[in-house]
Structures are given as C-alpha cells and as structure tokens.
Amino acid sequence: MTNAGSRASERVEVGLGERAYDILIGGGLIAEAGLLLAERLKGAAVAVITDETVAGLHLDTLASSLDAAGVRHVPIVLPAGERTKSFAHLEQAVDGVLAAKLERRDAVVALGGGVVGDLAGFVAGIVRRGMDFVQIPTTLLAQVDSSVGGKTGINTARGKNLVGVFHQPRLVLADTDTLDTLPPREFRAGYAEVAKYGLIDRPDFFAWLEANWREVFDGGPARTRAIAESCRAKAEVVARDEFETGDRALLNLGHTFGHALEAAVTYDPQRLVHGEGVAIGMALAHRFSARLNLASPDDAARVEAHLRLAGLPVRIRDIAGELPDADGLMTYIAQDKKVSRGALTFILTRGIGRSFVARDVPSSELRTFLREMLEQ
C-alpha cells in the first residue's frame, strides 16, 4: 500500500474514531518526516525529544527534513537508557518545550526507542493540558509495540511505568532503515514482541515467522511486512480496548513472568533486557498452559524452538548469575501491576495463537511449576 506522496510501503490505521491515526512503515521515512508533518500538523512548530545515541545517528536527517519543509524545531536531547524515564528528566523535557515557546497547537516529536517515546508522550500529554504528539520509533520494540497505543509514562523508585497518561499520537513514522544501526541484541529483544502477536491470536503469522525470520532479521520487505503485521495486531487490540479494561491485557502474554524476572535481576540490562524476559515468559506461559492441560506440550516445544533459533533465551537458567527461589519469584509476580485485587491474572493459551486472559490462576500450582523451572 502506498501513502500519497510518501515512499512508505505500508500504512496501518489505528481506528480510534476522531482520534484515529496512521502508522507509516518503510525505508527513508525520517527524510520525509518534514513534509508529512507539515501536511498533517499545519503550521505547527515541534520539539524533538531524543536520546544522545539516537541523536548522533538520526537527528541530522530529521532536522534537515524539517528545515526543508519549513517546520520550526528544537531538539531536546536526553541521556540514553531506562533511567531517563524519571521525574527529573520529565521536568527537564517539559522545561525544554516551554523554553522553546511552543504552544498547545504545536507538537512533541519522539525520535528514539520506547524510553524516549514513553517520556515524550507523557510530556505531550501534560504540557498545556495536551499537545499534539508524533512518534518516530527507532528500535524494533518501539516500532511494533511502544509507539502504538497511547500508553505513556515514567518510572518511580517504587516501580516501572507507575506514573503516566494515555495520550495517542497523531502519526507514527516507523522508518525501517533506522533498525540497521540497532545493536543485534536489541533487535532480537524486539523480535520477541513480534513473535508475541503470532502467539496471541495469529497462528498463521507465527508460522510465517518460523519460515521467514531470517529475512526479517536481514531487512527488506520481510522486515517491513513483519512490522506492519505486528502494528496491525496491536492496533486491533487497542481499538477494541483503548484503556485496558479487558482484551488489551492479552498484549501482556509472557509479561507477568518476564517482569518478575526483570525485577529479580534488578533490571540489570547486562543480565536481561525486556524482550528477553518476554521470550522466557512466553515459553513459560506455554509450558504452564500445557501443565494445566490447556495446551499441547508440542506447542510449547514449538514456541521454545523458534525463539531459541532466533537467538532468544527461553529458560530461567538461561539468565546468568544468582536468582531468587520460587517463593521469591512469586513475590515479584504478586507485585506486578497485572494483579487485580489479590487474584493472579495470567495470559494462558490453548495453543499457538489461542491465548486468553485467565483469572484465578491457582498460586500453589504456579509455585510448584516455578520450582521445577528453576531446576531445569
């Protein structure tokens, strides 16, 4: 599909009524961003929030494109890394937007991964009670997940993503060329979220990934297609349940285990990055579902085989170093925000592409399962 005047090779619409927006996916989109923004946000000036790493790689291209289209812009460059999702950097970014004398009709542009996107979206959501927001995601994770759906926010000392607002972007530009500069480990971690969409409710997509994952890693049309299919999957869920009162929870497949493991390694990215936790978490969710006689052990084995082939960890013992015991992991699981009034809510599955939200998962079964998994 082609967008008028753009080289984007795919367009996915997030159907949210009058707040509907497009995700454009393809190569060279940053160079076209100026024209696309000028066209859609008539006359707006923009603050470009980015991090130091991405600024070094892609900010010049964006700045030239904005200049060429006559869009006034100011850069706000923050340190790279999860620690930037903090009150201190929120204050710095808000101050940058105000100092640039941007008004309510102007826009905040996020150029970077999920960290920049979450923080910049929050800035856009609260400055002058809401400014326009554009996402230019530059990691695979951000292109297939965090830039779509309107969740924004920061971390506090008490946990991740505890403070934020829902604030949908007006446009998402996923420039697939930016992924060429991404470290391979970050690409693989993002791939876990791509596979997740197949495992939630797209068995054909999962089978396609099994056959084509190498091409997805190599770039080109298969990569664009995988990103577009992932965005389509997320957009559908978001359009059904924007504020996560029901189905949107399916997007957390693998995340209850994953978040517990991330917490267990005190969010040390040397040991585990988010997507790796999700990969182990998805493998565990399938095994646990097989244990509960909901799904076939063959499906669990198939999921594990694919993720492992793509270079992702799938067992708890794949994580280097000491880990808490089963009771310790249970405590982290109970702290996860997906726990609602005491009952454990989990995403379980009846097989590949047949995930569902399970409430009242018996914690005794889970503890026994974790004990075994820690030994394998």
What are the residues binding ligand NAD (CB under 6 A)?
51, 53-54, 57, 80-82, 85, 112-116, 118, 138-139, 141-142, 145-146, 149, 151, 160-161, 178, 181-182, 186, 274
Minimum CB distance to ligand NAD, residue 333 (Å): 18
Two tokens, residue 292: 């509960």
Backbone φ, ψ for residue 268 (5° rounding): -85, 110
Give the nearest distance from C-beta 226 to ligand NAD in angstroms.
16
In the complex with ligand NAD, the residue whose CB is nearer, 148 or 290, is 148
Known catalytic residues are: 129, 151, 193, 234, 244, 248, 252, 255, 259, 274
Taking the complex as a whole, the smallest distance from the CB of residue 369 to ligand NAD amounts, in Å, to: 26
Question: Cβ closer to ligand NAD: 139 or 230?
Answer: 139
Rank residues 160 and 291 by Cβ distance to ligand NAD and give the closer one.
Answer: 160
With helix as H, strand as E and coil as C, how does the chain read? CCCCCCCCCEEEEECCHHHCEEEEEECCHHHHHHHHHHHHCCCCCEEEEEEHHHHHHHHHHHHHHHHHCCCCEEEEEECCCHHHCCHHHHHHHHHHHHHCCCCCCCEEEEEECHHHHHHHHHHHHHHHHCCEEEEEECCHHHHHHHCCCCECCEEECCEEEEECCECCCCEEEEEHHHHHHCCHHHHHHHHHHHHHHHHHHCHHHHHHHHHHHHHHHHCCHHHHHHHHHHHHHHHHHHHHCCCCCCHHHHHHCCHHHHHHHHHHCCCCCCCCCHHHHHHHHHHHHHHHHHHCCCCCHHHHHHHHHHHHHCCCCCCHHHCCCCCCCHHHHHHHHHHCCCCECCECCEEEECCCCCEEEECCCCHHHHHHHHHHHHHC
Nearer to ligand NAD, 118 or 304 (CB): 118
* CB closer to ligand NAD out of 118 and 242: 118
Q: How far is the CB of 182 from ligand NAD (least distance, A)?
A: 4
Residue with smaller CB distance to ligand NAD, 116 or 249: 116
Q: How far is the CB of 279 from ligand NAD (least distance, A)?
A: 13
Nearest alpha-carbon partner for 111 in 43, 148, 58, 154: 58
**Least distance between ligand NAD and beta carbon 346 (Å):** 19
Query: Quick one: tokens of 171?
Result: 């446009």
